[in-house]
């Protein structure tokens, strides 16, 4: 199928992905999983989860292989690769205009909302990030990589976990410090907010502003918005781009609230993205950004702040609960 793994598409924390071709002529992506320390649990999770999902914004499972220690998952081939290639590559970033970015953001939100409330069971992804958003030939986004997903009853408000994994820079704070709040679907909302931040290049622009470089970047964004100043969202051609950039910024701030109780559901996120900017309120300045509490948060999440620019899948971490 892959002509002896001739065309490698990428390398992730769980294995390598190769381009393949079925006898029917359809192109596929073959994800060959490496050795797992979880006795194949990631593989079972992904097959069990993705096999029951049918949504335009979620990658479609074509098949899988489980022969002795060899494990592979076969998906539809996505010719435009993953979203991180357009966020972290300066040359490719210019080919993704603001209207396309906004369309991708809305459709990813629809996919996550479907996982949370559109199935007969609630699916928490726990690894929403640019690397796991695949783009088809028309730049329609598909959420992929369900190796860390958890299934729970549709009406369950919180999840009890003894071991949680996620990617540095996108992990919700309650997964690092359980005293912040209960673990629920709001963890995916936080990760989506960080995804929006990356799409708007907000943290990168902060690093370029020497006078702002000492601030954790949500503080800088709040200060600018509250002062009525424009947010530096990189290259913009017209006012419509600024409109989209400002909307994405405000929605992202709602999603990355420290307390999960203060974050909106994905249904509400969709309403905010698709509604008028004039009706979109800036969330209150979070308490953790004031005084010593800001410094405390920076220490507690030390792993996530410096690595926001890092697109290396080796930053997938495992967090063990003390509970």
In the set 7, 97, 120, 127, the catalytic residue is 127
Residues in CB range of 263: below 8 A, 6 or more apart? 186, 189, 190, 193, 254, 255, 256, 257
**Helix or strand or coil: residue 147?**
coil
Spatial distance between the Cα atoms of 285 and 64, rounded to a whole number of angstroms: 47
Length of the chain: 323
Are 51 and 60 in contact by the 8 Å Cβ rule? The answer is no
Q: Please state, as a whole number, how many other Cβ atoms lie within 10 Å of the Cβ of residue 197.
A: 25
Residues in CB range of 19: below 8 A, 6 or more apart? 2, 6, 7, 8, 9, 27, 28, 29, 30, 77
The answer to whether residue 145 is catalytic is: no
> For residue 155, how far is the Cα from the chain centroid?
23
Nearest to 84 by CA among 104, 109, 55, 54: 104
Active site residues: 127
């Amino acid at each position: 199928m892959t002509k002896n793994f001739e065309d490698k598409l990428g390398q992730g924390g769980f294995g390598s992905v190769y381009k393949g071709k079925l006898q029917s002529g359809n192109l596929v992506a073959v994800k060959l999983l490496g050795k797992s320390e979880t006795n194949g649990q990631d593989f079972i999770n992904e097959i069990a989860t993705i096999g029951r999902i049918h949504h335009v914004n979620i990658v479609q499972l074509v098949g899988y292989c489980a022969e002795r220690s060899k494990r592979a998952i076969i998906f539809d081939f996505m010719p435009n690769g993953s979203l991180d290639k357009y966020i972290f590559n300066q040359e490719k970033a210019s080919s993704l205009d603001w209207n396309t970015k906004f369309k991708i953001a809305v459709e990813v939100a629809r996919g996550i909302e479907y996982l949370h409330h559109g199935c007969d069971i609630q699916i928490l992804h726990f690894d929403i990030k640019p690397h796991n958003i695949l783009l088809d030939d028309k730049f329609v986004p598909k959420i992929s990589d369900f190796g860390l997903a958890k299934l729970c009853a549709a009406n369950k408000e919180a999840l009890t976990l003894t071991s949680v994994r996620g990617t540095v820079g996108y992990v919700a704070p309650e997964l690092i410090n359980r005293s912040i709040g209960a673990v629920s679907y709001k963890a995916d909302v936080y990760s989506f907010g960080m995804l929006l931040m990356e799409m708007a290049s907000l943290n990168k622009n902060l690093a370029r502003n020497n006078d702002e470089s000492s601030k954790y970047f949500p503080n800088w964004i709040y200060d600018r918005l509250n002062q009525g100043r424009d947010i530096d969202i990189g290259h913009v051609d017209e006012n419509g781009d600024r409109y989209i950039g400002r909307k994405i910024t405000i929605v992202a701030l709602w999603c990355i609230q420290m307390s999960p109780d203060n974050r909106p559901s994905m249904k509400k996120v969709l309403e905010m993205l698709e509604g008028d900017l004039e009706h979109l309120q800036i969330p209150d300045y979070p308490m953790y950004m004031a005084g010593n509490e800001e410094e405390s948060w920076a220490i507690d999440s030390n792993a996530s702040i410096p690595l926001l620019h890092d697109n290396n899948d080796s930053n997938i971490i495992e967090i063990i609960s003390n509970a």
